[in-house]
């Protein structure tokens, strides 16, 4: 339980957010499969990314930290070793889904599972395409734990039924081992960190709009990776500045990969005062400093192609829309039901407790705006993004909100409260 001391505050000053979670996971994985030593700066030391490190250590990879630099001593595509125990991913859906694409092609069997949240999250979405490639994966009726019996894989052409970077990445990792060319066709483009980083490591990948072609290769080559700040984490601080009076902040060195900035595009459409400064590229990723000032926002409807580009930020959108002028509608967001919690239900329930008026629908929400938030006792559902949404909502409450099980925030943003307190001074 945490009673927020940070309430009824404005935010001012400069800050940085920790390294991008998606890129941190991939840097460890691709470094482990590469030949040579991959060095990683800006790595996110959140619980999810630590789970990825632990799994690859169990697979025989030497990973050390020296002066805040992570060094991954890669053993090559075929250099992993059979784990002595079950691989445990904790709360990390990225770890379990991506690593299956690698384990499916090894010359050993393995078992992988996670915490009480992971074993409720659907795994058929990766099992089905990997089985089409020849993988042998046993599951508990489509859920973890997964028993994976490594074998030779074949190339496929796969039309993505859902927009999912995790599913796409699992197939891409498996394609490194499959004979010939694997083709992935996306209806809506999902985040493309895997494509960018695999190219950076020397994979044979070509991209033409929503069609990705990946050829099997003999090796990946170790690289130096500088990880930018996580846009999904930055969005919580951005919203905090937008919804509070007399706020003015700059968040430095934030990744603005176009497949991750859907929420920022929507905020600009809603009237947000956001500027992108010093735009540049680092380790293949687009990066900038983001300036934010208090703003009066108006309602906006979101659906279709924009949804996968802001899937992690939709709970934040519900928060913003509750304070904006007018009524907002979210459609095509069924995927939210399969995150760490059913985020359609959990964010609606908790924001309604503090004064919002959100109606759940089968694939989204109807959100009435111009609401005033008040203090209440809220739950996190052990979901880091729901917990952070409630913490940001507390900034516009006259009295402090009480949030139970707030420590789940450490999964993705360990210094979240430190930043809020510093900017709130």
Is residue 393 a contact partner of residue 400, using CB atoms and an 8 Å limit?
no
- Cβ contacts of 297 within 8 Å, gap of 6 or more: 242, 243, 267, 270, 271, 272, 320, 323, 324, 325
Supply φ then ψ for residue 20, to 5 degrees. -60, 130
CB atoms within 10 A of CB 386: 27
212 has which bridge partners? Answer: 184, 207
DSSP 187: S
Is residue 236 a contact partner of residue 416, using CB atoms and an 8 Å limit?
yes
Pairing state between β 357-361 and 34-41: unpaired
- The radius of gyration of the chain's CA atoms, rounded to the nearest angstrom, is 21
| Distances in whole angstroms, Cα of residue 363 to Cα of each of 95, 190, 300, 309, 332 | 26, 18, 16, 16, 5
CA 104 – CA 368 distance, rounded (Å)? 47
SS3 of residue 52 by DSSP: helix
**Whole-angstrom distance between the N-terminal and C-terminal Cα of the chain?**
23
Instruction: Cite the active site residues.
Output: 312
CA 165 – CA 159 distance, rounded (Å)? 13
CA 341 – CA 149 distance, rounded (Å)? 30
Is residue 58 a contact partner of residue 87, using CB atoms and an 8 Å limit?
yes
CA 264 – CA 281 distance, rounded (Å)? 19
CA 20 – CA 42 distance, rounded (Å)? 8
Nearest CA to 212 among 239, 235, 181, 242? 181
SS3 of residue 215 by DSSP: strand
Q: Where are the alpha helices (DSSP H) in 67-164?
A: 93-103, 124-132
């Amino acid at each position: 339980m945490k009673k927020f001391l940070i309430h009824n505050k404005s935010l001012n000053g400069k800050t940085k957010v920790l390294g991008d979670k998606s890129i941190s996971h991939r840097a460890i994985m691709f470094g482990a499969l590469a030949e040579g030593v991959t060095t990683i700066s800006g790595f996110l030391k959140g619980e999810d990314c630590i789970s990825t490190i632990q799994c690859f250590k169990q697979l025989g990879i030497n990973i050390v930290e020296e002066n805040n630099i992570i060094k991954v001593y890669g053993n090559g595509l075929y250099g992993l070793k059979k784990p002595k125990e079950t691989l445990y991913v904790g709360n990390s859906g990225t770890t379990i889904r991506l690593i299956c694409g690698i384990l499916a092609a090894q010359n050993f069997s393995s078992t992988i599972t996670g915490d009480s949240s992971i074993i409720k999250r659907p795994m058929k979405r990766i099992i089905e395409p990997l089985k089409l490639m020849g993988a042998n994966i046993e599951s508990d009726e489509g859920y973890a734990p997964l028993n994976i019996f490594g074998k030779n894989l074949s190339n496929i052409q796969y039309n993505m039924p859902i927009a999912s970077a995790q599913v796409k990445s699992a197939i891409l990792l498996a394609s490194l081992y499959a004979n010939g060319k694997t083709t992935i066709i996306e209806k809506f483009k999902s985040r493309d960190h895997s494509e960018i980083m695999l190219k950076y490591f020397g994979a044979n990948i070509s991209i033409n709009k929503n069609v990705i072609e990946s050829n099997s290769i003999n090796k990946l080559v170790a690289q130096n990776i500088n990880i930018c700040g996580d846009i999904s984490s930055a969005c919580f601080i951005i919203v905090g500045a937008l919804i509070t009076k007399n706020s003015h902040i700059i968040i430095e060195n934030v990744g603005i990969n176009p497949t991750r900035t859907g929420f920022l595009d929507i905020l600009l459409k809603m009237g947000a005062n956001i500027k992108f400064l010093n735009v540049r590229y680092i380790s293949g990723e687009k990066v900038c400093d983001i300036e934010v000032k208090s703003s009066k926002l108006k309602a906006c409807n979101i659906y279709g192609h924009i949804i996968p580009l802001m899937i992690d930020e939709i709970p934040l959108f519900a928060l913003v829309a509750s304070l904006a002028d007018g009524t907002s509608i979210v459609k095509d967001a069924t995927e939210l039901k399969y995150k760490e919690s059913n985020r359609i239900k959990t964010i609606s329930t908790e924001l309604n407790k503090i004064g919002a008026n959100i109606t759940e629908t089968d694939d989204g929400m109807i959100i009435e705006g111009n609401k005033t938030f008040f203090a209440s006792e809220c739950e996190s559902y052990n979901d880091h993004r729901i917990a952070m949404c409630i913490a940001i909502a507390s900034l516009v409450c006259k009295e402090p909100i009480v949030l139970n099980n707030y420590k789940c925030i450490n999964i993705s943003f360990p210094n979240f409260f430190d930043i809020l307190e510093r900017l709130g001074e």
